[in-house]
Structure 1
Amino acid sequence: MKLALGPLQYYWPRVTTLEFYAAVADWPVDIVYLGETVCSRRHELRLPDWLEIADMLAQAGKTPVLSTQVLLESGNDLNTLRKIADNQRYEIEANDMGAVHCMQGRAFVAGPFLNIYSKPTLDVMVAQGASRWVLPLEMGRIGLAQLQQDRPAGLQTEVFAYGRMPLAFSARCFTARNRNFPKDNCQYVCMDHPDGLLLETKESEAFLTINGIQTQSALVHTLIHELAEAQRLGVDVLRLSPQSQHMDQVVAAFRAVLDGQEAAADAHQRLLPLMPAGPCNGYWHGRPGLDMVLPGDLLAAPSPQAERPGVKSRVAA
């Protein structure tokens, strides 16, 4: 099973981003997704810069994939999409149907935002040229098992296995709004929050993370305990989403578990202090997304609809 480093979701300074990917060249990852997927106003790096990084990573033995923006809002966004699709050197991750159509039957990765929940949808994607699909963030192991039985021959499966989960996108920029800036004059305040801006309830409970026009989970989704099951289900690629600190150690922990060099429980304990927030994996188990289900909990786990003892009903992150 291969490890992939997902596209950078946050807005980091140019030098920080370049240094990050220079380090990635030495990490035990097989696939690296590159490009701006969240907001076109984030332009510390342009397409030629991403292509240079792709060239560097390809020389280091990685497989670069260029990711497209999820929410297109202007003609310039569409022009950038077409330029990415016209690239003949590297595979594309299509994150909206416009990107799928731009590929015109050439091979691409069907990103997690294409709402693939059924075999007919998988069939449509394969007919359009998809060589790999990414499980939607809120789909669990039961849905995955069914689609793995039904997936067309030759189609690979990728699962988001680590990181704050991208849950929704909006035309409004919540980070700019938080500072009373209009979106068109946002002052690039996203750069002040290299792992997003935490949103808490009135009871001071972590609720969501604001990342420009993107809304993320407050907690960090991790499937470190579920790697053996993912292998049994025929998952081909695990995606780890970048964070601003300790990402090399996160990658090393997942690689060690996959290679049988470390127990998942030990790796989980090692990851906890490296995360920007607490862990969760509820969606995988058909529970609220903010739940953290450990292997021992499964023996006496209540039904997904049952409310957890002593905890009031909350919106899933």
Structure 2
Amino acid sequence: MKLSLGPLTYCWNKTSIFEYYQAIADTNIDTVYLGEVICSRRREMKYKDYLELAHMLAAKGKKVILTTMTLIESHSEINELKRIIDNGEFAIEANDMAAVNLASEANIPFICGPSLNLYNRGCLDIMQKLGMTRFVMPYELSRKWLEQVLTQNTTPFETEVLGYGYMPLAHSARCFTAKHHQKPKLDCQIVCLQYPKGLLTQTQESQPLLRLNGIQTQSAAKVNLINQIPSMSKIGVDYWRLSPTGLEDIGLINQIASSQHSELIAITPSHSAIECNGYWFGEAGMQINQSTNAL
């Protein structure tokens, strides 16, 4: 099973983004997803900047995938989507049915991102006929569900599962971060830059609840399925995805890449706090689930 780095969901400044991916280039990670998936108003990075990063990473031996927006809301975003799909050099991840449509019409193979509502084998078969080569499992589904799907896989396609990072729960046309600052979405002044890991919200009892990230709502806790890597490999998962959170990812990637299966249980990220692994085990998403320690 290979390691992949999902697209950056947060709004960082351009310098930080380049520093992050330059550090990623020196790791043993196999695949890197690049591109804006949340909001086109995050203007720190342009299409040409992502291409520059893509070429740099490819020169270091990484497989690069250009990812697309999760929620398409304007003609300008459609035009940018077409630009990504027609790049002619790098594979694409489709996070919206508009991307699936355009890729299929152009006869361009694509990866189905986790935001597509693909909840049964019939949907996956349709996507495969349209050109899907890999399927990133929606985060709320379980190992049991995936095992059932893979046993029906008469025509092989690759499978990818989120193994580490904050979990996207929902997307909305509203921008919650802008609303928190009492700013209109169309004139938000890119306040997301103030929250490099999203804006943490709490319950009235001061317990972490959610993480606001522009139009995206995330889990307050991280998914941490490092110790499930051996079992994922056994059932046929091809890629174990890490979602970017900061430069601390570099050490974790190197640890995982250099560890044998028997050593994975010893990897405990020093920056890790509470975890939410329940969905993978068919339980409530906020459940920590102690069986993460079982190989």
Q: Secondary structure at the match of 2:267?
A: helix
How far residue 291 of structure 1 moved from its aligned partner, in angstroms, is 1.1
Of 135, 144, 147 in structure 2, the residue corresponding to residue 145 of structure 1 is 147
- Is 2:163–2:225's contact at 8 Å kept on the other side of the alignment? yes
- Is 1:106–1:128's contact at 8 Å kept on the other side of the alignment? no
Q: Counterparts of 1:40 and 1:280 in 2: how far apart (Å)?
A: 29
Corresponding residue of 2:54 = 54
Runs of 4+ in 1 over 4 A off after TM superposition: none
Corresponding residue of 1:124 = 126
Q: Secondary structure at the match of 2:279?
A: helix
Q: What is the root-mean-square deviation of aligned Cα atoms in Å?
A: 1.4
Corresponding residue of 1:274 = 271
Q: Counterparts of 2:274 and 2:86 in 1: how far apart (Å)?
A: 40
How far residue 106 of structure 1 moved from its aligned partner, in angstroms, is 1.7
How far residue 296 of structure 1 moved from its aligned partner, in angstroms, is 8.1
Q: Secondary structure at the match of 2:82?
A: helix
Deviations 1:136-155 (Å, cap 9, x if unpaired)? 10001000100111124230
Q: Counterparts of 2:266 and 2:182 in 1: how far apart (Å)?
A: 44
Corresponding residue of 2:184 = 182
Corresponding residue of 1:45 = 45
Please state if 1:218 is matched with 2:220. Answer: yes
Give the number of the structure with larger relative contact order, counting CA–CA contacts within 8 Å between residues 6 or more apart: 2
Please state if 1:89 is matched with 2:80. Answer: no
Q: 1:152 to 1:33 in 2, by over 3 A?
A: farther
- Is 2:7–2:36's contact at 8 Å kept on the other side of the alignment? yes
Pairing of 1:168-179 with structure 2 (within 5 A)? 168-179=170-181
Corresponding residue of 1:7 = 7
Please state if 1:136 is matched with 2:138. Answer: yes
Q: Counterparts of 2:25 and 2:239 in 1: how far apart (Å)?
A: 18
Q: Counterparts of 2:51 and 2:293 in 1: how far apart (Å)?
A: 45
Deviations 1:200-232 (Å, cap 9, x if unpaired)? 011111110000000000000011121111011
Identity %: 42
How far residue 77 of structure 1 moved from its aligned partner, in angstroms, is 0.6
Corresponding residue of 2:280 = 284
Corresponding residue of 1:192 = 194
Q: Counterparts of 1:71 and 1:152 in 2: how far apart (Å)?
A: 32
Count of residue correspondences: 292
Deviations 1:96-141 (Å, cap 9, x if unpaired)? 1110111123211011111111111111111011110001100010
How far residue 263 of structure 1 moved from its aligned partner, in angstroms, is 2.3
Give, as a single letter, the amino acid of the residue that structure 2 aligns with 1:16. S
Corresponding residue of 1:21 = 21
Q: Secondary structure at the match of 1:92?
A: strand
- Is 2:225–2:292's contact at 8 Å kept on the other side of the alignment? no
Q: Which runs of 5+ in 2 are unaligned?
A: none
Q: Secondary structure at the match of 1:220?
A: strand
Please state if 1:76 is matched with 2:73. Answer: no
> How high is the TM-score relative to the length of structure 2?
0.96
Deviations 1:56-92 (Å, cap 9, x if unpaired)? 1010000000000000111111110010011110000
Q: Which shifted more, 238-247 or 1-10?
A: 238-247
Q: Secondary structure at the match of 2:232?
A: helix
Q: 1:226 to 1:296 in 2, by over 3 A?
A: closer
Q: Secondary structure at the match of 1:279?
A: coil
Please state if 1:158 is matched with 2:160. Answer: yes
Q: Which runs of 5+ in 1 are unaligned?
A: 299-317
Q: Counterparts of 1:199 and 1:228 in 2: how far apart (Å)?
A: 34
Q: Counterparts of 1:93 and 1:152 in 2: how far apart (Å)?
A: 23
